Amino acid sequence: MSTEQAVGVIGLGAMGMGVARSLLRAGFTVTGCDVRNEALKEFAGHGGTPTTSPAEAGRNASFLVIVVVNAEQTENVLFGEDGAAATLAPGSVVLACATVPSEFAIATAERLARQDIEMIDAPISGGAVRAAAGELSVMASGPPATFDKAKAVLDAMAETVHRLGDTVGPGSAVKTINQLLAGVHIAAGAEALALAMRMGLDPKVVYDVICASAGSSWMFENRMPHVLAGDYTPFSAVNIFVKDLGIVLETGKQLTFPLPIAATAHQQYLAASGAGYGRQDDSAVIKVYRDLGGITLPEKSED
């Protein structure tokens, strides 16, 4: 195996699987790590090497792409029992893609640097479809030499790599802003479509009109079809925005900066999670309006 072409990917969810497959198509040797047998079986079917061990994903790899949910999982797969940091070689590069507070990203890079392991702060956006096509947007920051080293990996993963600074931290800071907007837009889109249904309007007609009008957003266009189809299969779950808007609000608290719109949206996701919808698609935030406002949502077709 050529270690120059060896990549470990930890987290084979909707985004991580797409990243891993894109790297395989680009000619890298890829070891994919996940705790779910079905994800490992799928990955093996695409020609990758599956493992349940983060340490194995890091062994012999020059690059490690971490596509997990949060800071706790990032910490665990790197430095916990069977963590990858113990097997990564000096000079290897970690691309940390989870949405985390910028302070955590900085601390993680400093900890890895003590082992002569480099890191790019590399949160991703674009959804499962763009991940599978290698067309993600990466909000990245880190030393220029590390970017140069990881260029081929980033090119395989992403359509756009935003280089946001020469140190770790700005990448996660910009992702915080992105998640503020994304979370608010989904919650606002759900509220608008719920009101339309309460007014007796055809939600499909309203969706088509809004998508051709100034009130639309990428999240409205992308997520409200899930509601129209009655299909809440999670591509990004409600609980993701409980976490991500929590990061947004904690950032505002640290800066003594008011974020009333983000706080209101966060309450809607908390309500959805508390009602039992936390693991459903984030568009399931609309079910809060169903439960409180007496609307009837479209149901999934049995065909």
Q: What is the pLDDT of residues 268-281, one digit of tens each?
A: 999 999 999 999 99
Per-residue pLDDT band for 129 (boundaries 50, 70, 90) equals confident
Q: Which CATH number fits domain 173-293: 3.40.50.20, 3.40.50.10880, 2.60.40.1180, 1.10.1040.10?
A: 1.10.1040.10
Q: Tell me what the mean pLDDT of segment 143-152 comes to.
A: 97
Q: How far apart, in whole angstroms, are the C-alpha atoms of residue 238 and residue 278?
A: 5
DSSP 13: S
Given this model, what pLDDT does residue 235 score?
85
- Does the pLDDT value for residue 128 go beyond 90? no
The C-alpha angle with vertex 44 and arms to 139 and 36, in degrees rounded to 5, equals 70
Mean pLDDT of the chain: 96
User: Which class does domain 3-167 fall in?
Assistant: alpha beta
Given this model, what pLDDT does residue 127 score?
85
Q: What is the pLDDT of residues 39-95, one digit of tens each?
A: 999 999 999 999 999 999 999 999 999 999 999 999 999 999 999 999 999 999 999
41 is catalytic: no
pTM: 0.93
Helix, coil or strand: residue 61: coil
Q: How far apart, in whole angstroms, are the C-alpha atoms of residue 300 and residue 113?
A: 50
Q: How far apart, in whole angstroms, are the C-alpha atoms of residue 205 and residue 90?
A: 57
Q: How far apart, in whole angstroms, are the C-alpha atoms of residue 160 and residue 244?
A: 22
Q: Residue 269 half-sphere exposure, CB side, CA atoms within 13 Å?
A: 30
Per-residue pLDDT band for 263 (boundaries 50, 70, 90) equals very high
In the numeric block, the tokens 């983000």 are attached to 262
Question: Which of the following is catalytic: 149, 175, 243, 287?
Answer: 175
Per-residue pLDDT band for 14 (boundaries 50, 70, 90) equals confident
Q: Where in the chain are the domains?
A: 3-167, 173-293
Per-residue pLDDT band for 289 (boundaries 50, 70, 90) equals very high
